[in-house]
């Protein structure tokens, strides 16, 4: 066959009764050869079997993946396989559509790893000024995940006005990032492809196998040849390193340590979606059929695989031609899927955070999650009180809804109670700061932030009216209860750990909802259902809401709400016998009750605590008479935003401290008639915890107890998070 290069091979055959010719876009000579072999194999297979529909394939040679995208848009080619980062651009910027994704032996996701030579002294924290090799620009493992990690730890400085590529070009001394040619000179400095002024013949720094440092193999070559100090590739590339040479390399782990290559599951920079196939909208149905037919013939279990192997490039001398060689099968979508379903919410949010679509006004705004009318009012005053960064208050219906909205990139941050911090952590969000309830905040000058060795807890307590005689732990059957809110540590997690009634001792604490609905006659657990909503009263005026909503619009929500629930509403109908809440600010909440005219004349003296051992004690005895410690609330966000949210909170904190006489106080809520709005009222300051993992903030005891509970309690929000294609963790 003559003139393969730059030409289109068209193969006709008699059996093709219909079917548009498919044109595959290739980016190198070996890829063009593999494609031509596929075309031949299709003809041969189709003439020997009776399959007729998809016999005509031609191969269109382009000089880069970006060129492929243009050719497909211009109807000069039909199909190409792309890294997930390129898939996103192809769909969002160029109007193409994703029709399939590669599935590997361990699923559809890849792990980003940073490979160095064993002899190096570098670690993940000291990459500034080094020479870097990347599989491709905006690629998942070669660019987005590692840069997202460096940004989340604040190792990589990034001014909001500048494009990320510029920050990267300043950070590394020199790099080879195939595809970054137009962004910054130093990003292509290490590349070795031939240069030409004719764009068709220029391979320098292109996303083409003609650039020796292109793709996973190329980035590793860049490292092994000594051109670079570190290579950012995906874990699938590690297999290609000779067994005998594996010990000469190490992975950089996020904790600053090194690890052998085989440890990539533990030592990596995050998970992201693998490669996918794109085409034009109007071509998608026939292209899907073409892929299904090709896979049925030439996939690993294909009927015709002795003729041709779709996922094997070894005879062409280059890896990963047309598809990744480690592909086990293609998952061809049988309907149109939104890009965030194809690539996962975490990943799409990461790309937006990295400015994949270009920067927008949104980038400089912090969107805080508010769950009620009262929080919205406080948040708006906060926004008004700070001049530095614009703060936007976004309304959600509950803390769980905030987590969902953060994942969907509709909100950026929120302060969550310990149980919701657990959930958010499972959902791939990360800590920024933690509320500090100690006596005095210590500002570490050198580090430039508030730090602390230990994070003081609050305590869960069970409060009753002094006048309720014969009410103790163990005898709560048939009583009325007040629980703060769904999943709240004090109202939901801790009480079930104790013996509520003779039938319900702590061995039954695995499903709190079941325990409470069986033990109590009725109660108010905002966000719950059935008899545990019957005591709730809903909201009025601007905060009007249905009964039992999972936010302060339900007047029995939270610590203040549980107290209101205990004394009952002014009509005297809806009240509880026991309220599960946090000990902090209890006395001032009782005072507030009187001042708000909700229930006049109640004094601290009118209440008592129930101790877990069956006794009773005065409110002041919470240290010895409590249901357990509660880890502090933590502000959680998407990983890529940690540095920005931290910066914003520190500025807010300083501004409010500097104007102590101002109207707005971050950690007070009484003037809005509620408690614990946005932050707990017990907060003294916000301490830096973005270097910690949420599990260590929660502490092992709380963490494993909560895990135990959610192992047998269904939760919509955890289910929502588990659906994500590749949760970052």
Q: Report in angstroms the alpha-carbon separations of 157 from 154, 643, 695.
A: 7, 9, 27
Of the candidate spans 308-316, 581-589, 649-657, 668-676, the one that interacts with ligand NAG by CB under 6 A turns out to be: 308-316
Nearer to ligand NAG, 67 or 229 (CB): 229
- Rule CB under 6 A: say whether 603 interacts with ligand NAG: yes
- Rule CB under 6 A: say whether 707 interacts with ligand NAG: yes
Nearer to ligand NAG, 24 or 172 (CB): 172
Q: How far is the CB of 713 from ligand NAG (least distance, A)?
A: 11
Nearer to ligand NAG, 203 or 703 (CB): 703
Tokens of 194: 């031939």
* Of residues 608, 639, 213, the one with CA closest to residue 412: 639
Tokens of 60: 């269109």
Q: List the Cα angle 722/723/726 in 5-degree steps.
A: 85
Pure H helices in 354-498: 373-385, 399-407, 418-426
Tokens of 640: 């890529």
Whole-number Å distance between alpha carbons of 529 and 516: 11
Q: Report in angstroms the alpha-carbon separations of 328 from 262, 427, 482.
A: 21, 27, 53
Q: Site for ligand NAG (CB under 6 A): which residue of 242, 507, 663, 714? A: 507
Nearer to ligand NAG, 314 or 388 (CB): 314
- The distance from CA 413 to its chain's CA centroid, rounded to whole angstroms, is 12
Nearer to ligand NAG, 338 or 707 (CB): 707
The answer to whether 78 and 279 have CB atoms below 8 angstroms apart is: yes
- Rule CB under 6 A: say whether 711 interacts with ligand NAG: yes
Q: Site for ligand NAG (CB under 6 A): which residue of 173, 240, 452, 588? A: 173
- Rule CB under 6 A: say whether 715 interacts with ligand NAG: no
Q: Report in angstroms the alpha-carbon separations of 56 from 23, 40, 225.
A: 9, 9, 42
- Rule CB under 6 A: say whether 315 interacts with ligand NAG: yes
- Rule CB under 6 A: say whether 505 interacts with ligand NAG: yes
Q: How far is the CB of 463 from ligand NAG (least distance, A)?
A: 17
Q: How far is the CB of 598 from ligand NAG (least distance, A)?
A: 11
Q: Site for ligand NAG (CB under 6 A): which residue of 103, 286, 394, 508? A: 508
Q: How far is the CB of 675 from ligand NAG (least distance, A)?
A: 17
Decide the pairing of beta strands 22-26 and 249-252.
Answer: unpaired
The answer to whether 159 and 167 have CB atoms below 8 angstroms apart is: yes
> By rule CB under 6 A, what count of residues binds ligand NAG?
18
Nearer to ligand NAG, 336 or 503 (CB): 503
- Rule CB under 6 A: say whether 121 interacts with ligand NAG: no
- Rule CB under 6 A: say whether 713 interacts with ligand NAG: no
Of the candidate spans 102-110, 329-337, 502-510, 663-671, the one that interacts with ligand NAG by CB under 6 A turns out to be: 502-510
Nearer to ligand NAG, 281 or 704 (CB): 704
- Rule CB under 6 A: say whether 126 interacts with ligand NAG: no
Coil, strand, or helix at residue 679?
Answer: coil
- Rule CB under 6 A: say whether 129 interacts with ligand NAG: yes
Of the candidate spans 403-411, 446-454, 504-512, 514-522, the one that interacts with ligand NAG by CB under 6 A turns out to be: 504-512
- Rule CB under 6 A: say whether 704 interacts with ligand NAG: yes
Residues 6+ apart with CB under 8 A from 626: 459, 460, 461, 583, 609, 611, 612
Q: How far is the CB of 588 from ligand NAG (least distance, A)?
A: 11
Q: How far is the CB of 301 from ligand NAG (least distance, A)?
A: 12
675 DSSP 8-state letter: S
What is Dmax (Cα atoms) for the chain?
Answer: 99
Q: How far apart are the first and last CA of the chain?
A: 49
Coil, strand, or helix at residue 164?
Answer: helix
Dihedral of alpha carbons 463, 469, 472, 475, sign: negative
- Rule CB under 6 A: say whether 503 interacts with ligand NAG: yes
Of the candidate spans 90-98, 503-511, 579-587, 662-670, the one that interacts with ligand NAG by CB under 6 A turns out to be: 503-511
Coil, strand, or helix at residue 391?
Answer: strand
- Rule CB under 6 A: say whether 306 interacts with ligand NAG: no
Q: Site for ligand NAG (CB under 6 A): which residue of 239, 338, 357, 600? A: 600
Nearer to ligand NAG, 173 or 397 (CB): 173
Query: CA-based Rg of the chain, rounded to a whole angstrom?
Result: 30
Q: Site for ligand NAG (CB under 6 A): which residue of 48, 314, 388, 444? A: 314
Of the candidate spans 288-296, 414-422, 440-448, 499-507, the one that interacts with ligand NAG by CB under 6 A turns out to be: 499-507
Nearest-10 Cα torsion for 470, 472, 475, 478: 80
Whole-number Å distance between alpha carbons of 609 and 617: 5
Give the interface with ligand NAG as residue ranges (CB under 6 A): 129, 173, 309, 312, 314-315, 503, 505, 507-508, 591, 594, 600, 603, 704, 707-708, 711
């Amino acid at each position: 066959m003559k003139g393969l290069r730059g030409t289109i091979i068209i193969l006709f055959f008699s059996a093709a009764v219909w079917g548009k010719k498919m044109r595959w876009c290739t980016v190198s000579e070996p890829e063009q050869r593999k494609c031509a072999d596929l075309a031949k194999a299709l003809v041969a297979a189709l003439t020997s079997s009776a399959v007729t529909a998809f016999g005509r394939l031609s191969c269109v040679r382009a000089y880069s993946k970006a060129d492929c995208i243009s050719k497909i848009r211009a109807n000069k080619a039909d199909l190409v396989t792309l890294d997930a980062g390129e898939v996103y651009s192809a769909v969002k910027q160029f109007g193409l559509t994703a029709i399939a994704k590669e599935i590997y032996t361990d699923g559809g996701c890849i792990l980003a790893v940073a490979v160095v030579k064993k002899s190096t002294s570098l670690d993940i924290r000291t990459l500034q000024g080094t020479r870097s090799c990347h599989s491709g620009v905006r690629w998942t493992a070669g660019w987005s995940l590692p840069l997202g990690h460096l940004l989340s730890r604040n190792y990589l400085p990034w001014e909001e006005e500048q494009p990320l590529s510029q920050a990267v070009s300043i950070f590394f001394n020199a790099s080879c990032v195939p595809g970054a040619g137009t962004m910054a000179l130093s990003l292509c400095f290490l590349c070795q492809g031939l240069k030409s002024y004719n764009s068709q013949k220029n391979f320098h720094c292109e996303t083409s196998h003609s650039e020796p440092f292109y793709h996973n193999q190329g980035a590793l070559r860049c490292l092994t040849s000594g051109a670079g100090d570190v290579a950012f590739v995906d874990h699938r590339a590690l297999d290609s390193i000779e067994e005998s040479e594996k010990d000469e390399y190490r992975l950089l782990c996020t904790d600053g340590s090194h690890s052998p290559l085989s440890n990539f599951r533990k030592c990596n920079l995050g998970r992201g979606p693998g490669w996918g196939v794109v085409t034009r909208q109007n071509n998608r149905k026939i292209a899907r059929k073409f892929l299904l037919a090709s896979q049925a013939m030439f996939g690993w279990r294909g009927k015709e695989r002795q003729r041709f192997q779709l996922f094997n490039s070894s005879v062409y001398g280059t890896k990963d031609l047309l598809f990744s060689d480690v592909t086990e099968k293609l998952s061809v979508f049988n309907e149109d899927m939104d890009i965030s379903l194809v690539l996962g919410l975490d990943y799409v949010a990461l790309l937006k955070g990295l400015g994949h679509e270009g920067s927008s006004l949104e980038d400089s705004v912090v969107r805080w999650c508010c769950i009620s009318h009262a929080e919205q009012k406080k948040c708006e005053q906060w926004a008004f009180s700070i001049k530095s960064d614009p703060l936007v208050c976004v309304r959600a219906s509950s803390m769980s809804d905030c987590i969902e909205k953060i994942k969907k990139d509709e909100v950026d941050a929120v302060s969550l109670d310990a149980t919701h911090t657990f959930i958010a952590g499972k959902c791939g969000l990360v800590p920024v700061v933690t509320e500090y309830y100690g006596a005095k905040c210590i500002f570490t000058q050198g580090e430039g932030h508030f730090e602390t060795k230990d994070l003081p807890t609050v305590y869960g307590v069970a409060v009753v009216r002094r006048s309720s005689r014969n009410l103790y732990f163990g005898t709560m059957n048939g009583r009325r209860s007040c629980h703060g809110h769904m999943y709240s540590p004090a109202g939901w997690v801790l009480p079930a750990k104790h013996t509520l009634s003779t039938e319900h001792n702590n061995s039954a604490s695995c499903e709190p909802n079941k325990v409470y609905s069986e033990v109590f006659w009725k109660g108010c657990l905002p966000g719950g259902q059935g008899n545990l909503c019957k005591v709730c009263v809903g909201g009025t005026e601007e905060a009007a809401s249905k009964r039992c909503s999972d936010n302060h619009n339900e007047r029995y929500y939270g610590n203040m709400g549980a107290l209101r629930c205990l004394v009952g509403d002014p009509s005297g109908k809806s009240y509880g016998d026991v309220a599960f809440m946090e000990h902090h600010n209890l006395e001032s909440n009782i005072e507030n009750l009187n001042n708000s005219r909700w229930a006049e004349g109640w004094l601290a003296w009118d209440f008592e605590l129930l101790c877990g051992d069956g006794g009773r004690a005065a409110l002041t005895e919470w240290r010895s008479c409590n249901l357990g410690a509660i880890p502090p609330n933590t502000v959680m966000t998407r990983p890529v935003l940690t540095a920005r949210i931290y910066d914003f909170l520190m500025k807010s904190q300083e501004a409010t401290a500097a104007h102590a006489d101002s109207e707005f106080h971050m950690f007070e809520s009484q003037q809005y008639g509620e408690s614990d709005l946005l932050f707990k009222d017990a907060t003294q300051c916000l301490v830096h915890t973005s270097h910690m993992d949420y599990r260590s903030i929660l502490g092992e005891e709380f963490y494993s107890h909560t895990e135990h509970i959610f192992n047998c309690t269904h939760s919509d929000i955890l289910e929502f998070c588990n659906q994500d294609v590749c949760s970052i963790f």
